[in-house]
């Protein structure tokens, strides 16, 4: 029975790596080291995605909405998404960039996290269906821990070693070394 489980896991890991390779053949994804895939990773859009070494994508034993897929979408030709080494993503994470999203090294990104660097549509009634919308870079500095179901919006920098509580909506920058939570997220205490 153990041999069958190991064989099954090996086949699934090989399949996920193959799917990753097939979906990213256009040369828009740069990988500098080992990538551990526990769920499918989709890197799409017309921009550039850069992945550091020893990144972990998904947690295989966690419950999945759909297939647990992680999506990194650099939408515009000049859009950039960068992920530092040893960062870990849980399942169902979505990162959308029209300009720039930078995730530092050793970050922990909880399940169903959404990171956006743009409004994607103008808020005025007349301009709502026209593009481009307002954008501003998003930066998660090193060793940031983002809890489950957090939404991080454009123009936000989350300081080194900070923690964002589950279910928070981050609309303003968070300083280093703090715990922040709520909607909108506010600093609760220093670490």
Strand order of the sheet with strand 151-152?
A: 41-44, 70-74, 94-97, 114-116, 151-152, 169-170
The residues assigned a catalytic role are 121
Is the separation of the CB atoms in 153 and 135 below 8 Å? no
What's the rounded Cα separation, in Å, for the pair 118 and 73? 12
What's the rounded Cα separation, in Å, for the pair 127 and 60? 42
DSSP element (H, E) containing 21: helix 2-23
What's the rounded Cα separation, in Å, for the pair 38 and 49? 19
């Amino acid at each position: 029975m153990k041999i069958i489980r190991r064989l099954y896991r090996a086949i699934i890991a090989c399949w996920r790596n193959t799917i990753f390779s097939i979906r990213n053949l256009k040369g828009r994804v740069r990988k500098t080291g080992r990538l551990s895939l526990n769920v499918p990773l989709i890197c799409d859009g017309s921009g550039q995605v850069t992945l550091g070494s020893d990144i972990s994508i998904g947690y295989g034993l966690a419950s999945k909405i759909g297939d647990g897929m992680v999506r990194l979408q650099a939408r515009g030709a000049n859009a950039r998404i960068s992920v530092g080494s040893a960062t870990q993503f849980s399942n169902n994470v979505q990162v959308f960039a029209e300009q720039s999203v930078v995730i530092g090294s050793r970050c922990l990104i909880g399940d169903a996290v959404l990171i956006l660097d743009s409004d994607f549509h103008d808020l005025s009634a007349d301009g709502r269906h026209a593009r481009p919308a307002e954008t501003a870079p998003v930066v998660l500095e090193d060793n940031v821990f983002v809890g489950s179901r957090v939404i991080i919006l454009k123009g936000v920098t989350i300081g080194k070693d900070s923690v964002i509580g589950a279910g928070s909506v981050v609309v303003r920058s968070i300083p280093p070394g703090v715990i922040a939570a709520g909607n909108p997220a506010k600093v609760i205490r220093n670490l």
